Structure 1
Amino acid sequence: MGTALYFLGVIISLVGGIWILINAFKTSILWGLGSLFIPFVSLIFAIMHWQQNKKPFLICVVGFVVLVLSVFMGAGAGLVPSQMPAS
């Protein structure tokens, strides 16, 4: 279950990220290339052009939340308290 949610979260985040990247290229080739190759430029672009990128940004956030939840679900899967390592 955790693995399926993990991949679902990755796919959802990728869809939002690609959507933001497409919007960046529509705005300017420099925004697009910057978003593609320089870390955090796509985040800056999404914030500066919020009206155009509100929906894809929120899709990215939802995907990231699903991804993080799946990691927590899979982290302790199959362990019962008697089998957990002593600290």
Structure 2
Amino acid sequence: MGITSAIVLFAVIWWLTLLCVVPLRMKTQQDMGEVTPGTQSGAPEVHHLKAKLWITTGISAVLFAIIAGVILSGWITIEDLDMFHRMGPGAAG
């Protein structure tokens, strides 16, 4: 795995993790009982974004280490994931 592939892999893991972490413990205006006129009641009031970015980075680093370790060790290869046998021996390519 090259450096560019590693950066792309980390970025994808980081964004997917962020999308999973952002909704956690978010309090909306409706939850707080103070809806600002002209805004949606589901708009975030307390979002803890800075802490969630740090949590996302930590979780992503651990997931990246595991996934990169599996890729670099050769434990799982692209041939293992090829369900239709398109990359096997004798495949036109």
For Structure 1 versus Structure 2, the TM-score category normalised by the shorter chain is 0.3 to 0.5
- Normalized per residue, which structure has more strand? 2
So what's the TM-score if we normalise by structure 1?
A: 0.33
State the TM-score, normalizing by the size of structure 2: 0.32
Larger Rg belongs to: 2
Quick check: which one's helix share is greater?
Answer: 1
